[in-house]
Amino acid sequence: MKHSVIPIAVAATRQRKREAPKGRRVQPHALAEVQALLGNASRQADLLIEYLHAINDRYGQLGTPHLAALAQEMRLSQAAVYEVATFYHHFDVVREDSDGEVAAAPSMTVRVCDGLSCEMAGARDLLDRLPALLGTTIRVIPAPCVGRCEQAPVVVVGQLPLVHADVDQVVAAVQAGTVVHVPAPYIDLAAYRTYGGYGLLAECVSGTRALESVLKTMEDSGLRGLGGAGFPAGRKWRIVGAEAGPRLMAINIDEGEPGTFKDRTYLERDPHRFLEGMLIAAWAVGIDDIYIYLRDEYHACRALLETELAQLRADPPMDNMPAIHLRRGAGAYICGEESAMIESIEGKRGLPRLRPPYVAQVGLFGRPTLAHNFETLYWVRRILEEGGEWFASHGRHGRKGLRSFSVSGRIRLPGVHLAPAGITIQELIDEYCGGMQEGHQLYAYLPGGASGGILPASMNAIPLDFDTLQEHGCFIGSAAIVVLSQHDTAVNAARNLMRFFKEESCGQCTPCRVGTAKALALIEQPQWDIALLADLSTVMRDASICGLGQAAPNPIDCVVRYFPHELSRGAAT
């Protein structure tokens, strides 16, 4: 038998290859650029997304040489950096060509919101016309809901949102190069303090208000989490406070549910009302560090918070104020789910965690975590000042409390409307929204954003609140109402929503990743296979890891249940 002999030169080459570092080589110029951007900032791993933003903002994209350099600088594997960079929509990852060169970034990116409210207002026409008008160096892309549904259609030029946008307005903004959105006038720290701001926090910290009294007032109010889950806030404070420290807080201002914009509206006007509620919750629960997770689309809100947090740190309203960290999302709807948000804050892909354990016990960085929506904390000051009974005294049709409804679509006065919990859609439209637009009649409505289902006008007397819509296959979620008229169809609305879910699925579990794609393909057909859609819905609801996959079938199921006349015109088998 002959034995193969490996030449000495080949063996040496293989040895050199084994000794070389794994992954692509780090280019010295890319490393120098990354080091210059980061300066003396900490290289801790949970800041990865922040540093990806810094590179993307500076160079208009993430070239793979910069990713390799960042990995070396942060002592992370290149795979770990690359998987995070490619997970989020707002990072533009570009590989080198065969010559090792990275293509130049577009001179500007124009994002046209194609959410349901913007689609109803003409976004498709903008997407069709703008590329030819703006030229090849300007990138025009569709974008999921940008949180300005009351101002549809919306186009984001760079970081500047153009509301009620038309073609001429977008072209003018691009030519002017105006790409940064600055905050509108708001109640700053000095103004807030002139109206008694942070006085309530001082009473809590000094002992003037006892902890048990604060907890009981919160419980008596019946305030529930206003991000969609609806868990009682006071009870959550007790649960997390009973866990061994150190304890952390994670605040969700990702607000990615299509149709929702209430948090942005309140934040733009009165940020310290939220911040005081946040610090009172931190005092009550014994929080060491606070992490605020703000969606990337809210550029002006981020500038506002950076300014006001700097002033708050310079003149803190309490001794030993918890450290407050502002973290920037990167365009991922899934990060509205609390455990996915926590993963993102930790600098990872926003993949929801399996439960148990729950985040109240094992959350951010493995510590007990108080997770709250922005608006929940926004109400804390007023509830404690006026009493839990005051908040609970509001409501209609047997419900208690107040709700901030984000209303968009075919109504005269879109916007955030503070109304009694339990109000019906008809009462909301007539009393708060100025009625329907001229020439439009109520045909259908979404009671809880993209995932909350679709109901017909004939069901216009259902109280809008937690626990009132489930029997109808819907839920209120974050109280995002989208109103459709006779000029719209539930079938087209369901197609728009399923396109959104398909794009926003994190891909972690097969029922959601494959189910959303398969469901979209099925409902885009002129005839719907009702039996197959029903089987698919059951699998997605029963087997998806998180609420995205579990709720994604709602629009389809509602069309089949409540709008059979649309399907009978040739849309179903």
What type of residue sits at position 67?
L
What type of residue sits at position 354?
L
Nearest CA among 329, 379, 343, 425 for reference residue 46: 343
State residue 1's pLDDT score: 46
To the question of pTM greater than 0.75 for the whole model, the response is: yes
Q: Are 549 and 512 in contact (CB under 8 A)?
A: yes
If you write DSSP's letter for every residue of 61-116 in order, what string do you get?
Answer: SEEHHHHHHHHHHHT--HHHHHHHHHHSTT--EE-B-TTSPBPPPPSEEEEEE-SH
d(CA 261, CA 472): 25
3-class secondary structure, 164: coil
Q: What are phi and psi of 173, to 5 degrees?
A: -65, -40
Q: What are phi and psi of 225, to 5 degrees?
A: -55, 125
State residue 22's pLDDT score: 62
State residue 542's pLDDT score: 97
d(CA 394, CA 399): 8
Q: Are 215 and 284 in contact (CB under 8 A)?
A: yes
**pLDDT cut 70: percent of the chain above it:** 95
Q: Are 214 and 328 in contact (CB under 8 A)?
A: no
**pLDDT cut 90: percent of the chain above it:** 91
Going from the first residue of the chain to its last (573 residues), give the mean pLDDT of each consecutive group of 10, the final group possibly shorter.
52 50 83 98 98 97 96 97 97 84 91 98 98 95 97 96 97 90 94 97 97 97 92 97 97 96 98 98 98 97 98 97 98 96 98 96 98 98 97 96 98 98 98 98 97 98 97 96 98 98 97 98 97 98 96 98 89 47
State residue 126's pLDDT score: 98
State residue 18's pLDDT score: 47
Q: Are 454 and 493 in contact (CB under 8 A)?
A: yes
State residue 6's pLDDT score: 52
State residue 539's pLDDT score: 98
